[in-house]
Structure 1
Amino acid sequence: MSITAQLRDSVELPGGGALVHGFALERRGDGSSRALLGNGRELEVSDLDALFAGGGAPAAVFPLPWPGWDRGVHSVSPDGTFAVFSGQRAVRAVGRGGETLWEYRHACWGPAMDHPHTGDEQEVCRGNEHGSCRVSEDGRFVWAHVVAEPAEAGWEERWVVLDARDGRELARLRLDSAASGSHQLSHPDGVHMGLCIGMGQDGVLLHWARLDGGELTGWDLNEGMDRILMDVHAGHPGFLTVEHSGWDLRLHALDGTVLAEVPAEAPDDEDPPCWDYGCGFVDADTVIASTIDSAEEPEQARHWLLDARTLEIRGAVAYPTGPVDSYVRPLGDGTWLTYDDESGTLNRWASAPL
């Protein structure tokens, strides 16, 4: 069965591919979605609806603290008054006027142990390794994945919770990881935070935590698992993951209990595909997912709509414009994004009414 997609919006947006296959899209529990796009030495923050409406100037612009540093996953406060940047040697909060609000120093993400630094804060050491940060749903805390100072613990990664007002460390969890990179998702309940750590060929680690008063309680879902944290939704009790090699999709309760699972071979009996990394909640009742890595075999890319409670496949997405060789990024409001690299066009889709 095929399900026809309806084009809702379209806009030419150079660099907009990062909203679909990167971490430049920041969704909040209130249903809002914002684009965090780098433009030269600045981070431009725009409401997604305003972008599609041709809304002109970004809602906020923040100078990049380290213009030569192009890694790390950054975050903006829910009210848009400050941005928090995940750097190679620090987490820094910057106000809308460009002023530094605070800085939390940590060890260098560069992979060479005890390598020297020149003292220039703009120095970028070799290596692609990076951490991430996320402002909490209420704007009070900043969760950051960092490296501990070598003098304290040798190589040790930590998940720290900082006071968003002054960067003061409130709590920490020690992590048994050697990250290539990471990203975080704040649960719409405003309490829980998820952290996904990619370690290259060594797999993926997945953690959840909550801050109760001053006590940080964390748990991992890594026993016998190798799963990427993909999405959460306010209207759904769990979260969605994809197995690192694409063998299956799963829905989990917050404690890790598997609520539903769909293997990769279900959609195509002739040549069992893999699920790629474009998947998530279209809305509380629907998940969208892709089979075949569209970057490697674009002519075979296929998008599927699934039941969000059972992961039963409802059907393949049929686009009126022809095959769409793009990853997908659902927005949780009944729509999803694709990006056309050739034309530089960002498209927003919905299921056509029956």
Structure 2
Amino acid sequence: MPLQARLVAALAVPFPAGRADALEVLGPPGRRMLLQRCEDDIVVHALEDDPLRVGGETARFPAPWPRRFGRSTAAPDGSLAVFAGTHAVRAVEPGGAVRWEVRHGCRHRACREMHRSFDEYAGERNHRYAEQGSAGFSADGELIWAHVRGPLSPGAPDDDSRDEWLVLDPRDGTVLARADARAAAAGSVHVPHPDPRQMGLSIGEGQEGSPLRWGRWDGRQLTMDDFGGRDLVLIGVSPSGGRLMTVTHDQDRLAVLDVEDGSVLAEIDAGSAIARHPGTEPDNDEAEPYWDYAGGFLDETDAITSSVESDEEWGEGRHWLTDTSGAHAPRRITYPLPVTGLPTALGDGTWYTTADAGATLQVWARP
């Protein structure tokens, strides 16, 4: 029997239609921020609890380049924004002052230039479709992890133009550690761990694969685990930090891994665990459901998952309450008002969806 979600809050902020990405929640429970990446800047709003609501604008960070040229994020306290661009990682303070910049190899794969500025390639059409890296703050904001294209200095040999994973000091951009990411990324996403010395990196290589990297920083050295080289998309970390939720590259299986050694604690096959969409043709062998690269842990065992991408040809996309302990089959979640798109877990029993072209964020809880 379906479970109807309970609306906890609907959060909206002034939004330039068509000129901003969907709203995004950053930070752990109790220290949430609402971030929107607009065309010309990042705006960060505090989220206040009990009831959940949008507080005042915390900070505004002018962007050094348009949003299609990379990804961006902000510190947990809203004091610094980091833009991971085509040629550099740049830290910007509220008001626009550049705190530091780390230049790296150009992310347009055919380009071997070490660009000094965005203006050097701003008008070149091919650079508009360059691969993208990313950056992420540790849970306490004391470290920045950045996935970049090498080299980090002019004159380095051509074979140094590999993807690298850096640990940076947010105060001055000092490279504290670096590791060969052993990937050729089209894009990436950082997934923080409650322990600020650990970080997940989910790398997309298009049709080639989706390597998962797990980093540990002990204050002197960065070690990186690839969990056996499996192609897994990292969706989220459990509240305790002990479990990772992943989806296979071909989207047929959801797997929960032990964060210490990568062992598989649970595995759920979409084709056998969730029903085909009721709108599918009975004799269509290509209508099997599969998991989206979305969701996350609601608590240590329950997760919010979805099959929207495989459902959309047949009707309304579906979300699922999925017990990763295996005690219950996934149960479909319904909503009291129209919901489109993918869910994102907040780790405190709630999750969010977006509405109004990404301008409103709806927070949901189990009934």
The normalised TM-score by structure 2 is 0.84
CA shift, 1:123, in A, is 3.5
Q: Percent identity?
A: 38
Q: CA RMSD in A?
A: 2.7
The aligned counterpart of 1:136 is: 138
CA 1:138 to 1:298, structure 2 compared with 1: closer, same or farther past 3 Å? farther
CA 1:242 to 1:174, structure 2 compared with 1: closer, same or farther past 3 Å? same
Write the letter of the residue equivalent to 1:61.
R
The aligned counterpart of 1:227 is: 232
Q: Map 1:49-64 to 2 at 5 A.
A: 49=48, 53-55=53-55, 57-64=56-63
The aligned counterpart of 2:98 is: 100
Q: Map 1:133-172 to 2 at 5 A.
A: 133-149=135-151, 151-154=155-158, 155-172=161-178
Residues 200-252 of structure 1 show CA distances to partners (whole Å, capped at 9, x for unaligned) of: 111111000111121111111253x2210000122351110011221010100
The aligned counterpart of 1:288 is: 304
Q: Does 1:320 align with 2:324?
A: no
Residues 293-313 of structure 1 show CA distances to partners (whole Å, capped at 9, x for unaligned) of: 078437241111122434743
Question: Of residues 59, 80, 83 in structure 2, which corresponds to 1:82?
Answer: 80
CA 1:311 to 1:179, structure 2 compared with 1: closer, same or farther past 3 Å? farther
CA 1:232 to 1:286, structure 2 compared with 1: closer, same or farther past 3 Å? same
- Partner secondary structure for residue 129 of structure 1: coil
The aligned counterpart of 1:276 is: 292
The aligned counterpart of 1:267 is: 274
Contact 2:189 2:202 in 1 (8 A): yes
Contact 1:229 1:241 in 2 (8 A): yes
CA shift, 1:175, in A, is 2.0
Contact 1:18 1:25 in 2 (8 A): no
- Partner secondary structure for residue 96 of structure 2: coil
Q: Distance in 2 between matches of 1:350 and 1:49?
A: 17
Q: Distance in 1 between matches of 2:357 and 2:167?
A: 41
CA shift, 1:47, in A, is 2.6
Contact 1:304 1:313 in 2 (8 A): no
Return the structure number with greater strand share: 1
CA 1:298 to 1:131, structure 2 compared with 1: closer, same or farther past 3 Å? farther
- Partner secondary structure for residue 199 of structure 2: strand
The aligned counterpart of 1:7 is: 7
CA shift, 1:12, in A, is 4.3
CA shift, 1:177, in A, is 1.4
Question: Of residues 310, 318, 334 in structure 1, which corresponds to 2:349?
Answer: 334
Q: Which piece of structure 1 moves more, 8-17 or 210-219? A: 8-17
Q: Distance in 2 between matches of 1:2 and 1:349?
A: 15
CA shift, 1:138, in A, is 2.5
Q: Distance in 2 between matches of 1:279 and 1:60?
A: 28
Q: Structure 2: where are the runs of 5+ without partners?
A: 277-281
Write the letter of the residue equivalent to 2:354.
Y
- Partner secondary structure for residue 57 of structure 2: coil
The aligned counterpart of 1:350 is: 365
The aligned counterpart of 2:279 is: none
CA 1:267 to 1:97, structure 2 compared with 1: closer, same or farther past 3 Å? same
The aligned counterpart of 1:27 is: 27
Q: Distance in 2 between matches of 1:61 and 1:94?
A: 10
Write the letter of the residue equivalent to 2:363.
R
CA 1:119 to 1:144, structure 2 compared with 1: closer, same or farther past 3 Å? closer
Write the letter of the residue equivalent to 2:156.
E
The aligned counterpart of 2:246 is: 241
CA 1:143 to 1:343, structure 2 compared with 1: closer, same or farther past 3 Å? closer
CA shift, 1:78, in A, is 2.1
Residues 2-40 of structure 1 show CA distances to partners (whole Å, capped at 9, x for unaligned) of: 112111112445468724xxxx43233x55332221234
Q: Map 1:167-186 to 2 at 5 A.
A: 167-186=173-192
CA shift, 1:126, in A, is 3.6
- Partner secondary structure for residue 277 of structure 1: coil
CA 1:119 to 1:213, structure 2 compared with 1: closer, same or farther past 3 Å? closer
CA 1:118 to 1:142, structure 2 compared with 1: closer, same or farther past 3 Å? closer
CA 1:17 to 1:348, structure 2 compared with 1: closer, same or farther past 3 Å? farther
Q: Distance in 1 between matches of 2:227 and 2:347?
A: 24
The aligned counterpart of 1:47 is: 46
- Partner secondary structure for residue 231 of structure 1: strand
Question: Of residues 190, 194, 212 in structure 1, which corresponds to 2:200?
Answer: 194
Q: Structure 1: where are the runs of 5+ without partners?
A: none
Aligned residues: 343
Write the letter of the residue equivalent to 2:155.
A
Q: Distance in 1 between matches of 2:92 and 2:303?
A: 35
The aligned counterpart of 2:70 is: 72
- Partner secondary structure for residue 202 of structure 2: strand
CA shift, 1:191, in A, is 2.1
Q: Distance in 2 between matches of 1:65 and 1:252?
A: 38
Contact 2:134 2:147 in 1 (8 A): yes
- Partner secondary structure for residue 167 of structure 1: coil
More contact order relative to length (CA 8 Å, sep ≥ 6): 1
